[in-house]
């Protein structure tokens, strides 16, 4: 059985901003890592758990999360879900 991977697709990339679409299957996760730039996440569909700076938040359609540069965070899909990640470059 093939394991499905997290899907990511860059939608826009410039000197000042990058927008990436992510899609997760139920149970998939990204381990804790740091935001390289100021960033925001907008959940488009489904449900996920976001650990942002040590605090847990449930994200569902329409949820918006803002992350300052350097914030430790991780993500886990509760149900299949997708979100847009916008990185604001210095």
Neighbouring-strand partners of residue 71: none
pLDDT interval class at 22 (50, 70, 90): very high
Q: Chain-wide mean pLDDT for the chain?
A: 94
- Per-residue confidence band for 30, with pLDDT thresholds at 50, 70 and 90: very high
CATH annotation of 7-88: 2.60.120.10
pLDDT of 3 higher than 70: no
pLDDT(35) > 90: no
Kindly tell me the sign of the dihedral angle through the C-alpha atoms of 46, 47, 48, 53: positive
Question: Structure pTM?
Answer: 0.90
Within 13 Å of residue 47, how many CA atoms lie on the same side as its CB?
4
- Tokens for 31? 């381990």
36, pLDDT greater than 70: yes
């Amino acid at each position: 059985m093939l394991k499905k991977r997290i899907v990511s697709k860059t939608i826009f990339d410039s000197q000042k901003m990058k927008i990436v679409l992510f899609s997760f299957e139920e149970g998939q996760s990204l381990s804790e890592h740091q935001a390289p730039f100021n960033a925001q996440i907008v959940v488009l569909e489904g449900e996920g758990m976001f650990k942002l700076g040590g605090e847990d938040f449930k994200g569902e359609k329409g949820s918006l999360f803002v992350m300052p540069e350097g914030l430790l965070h991780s993500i886990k899909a509760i149900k299949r879900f997708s979100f847009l990640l916008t990185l604001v470059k210095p």
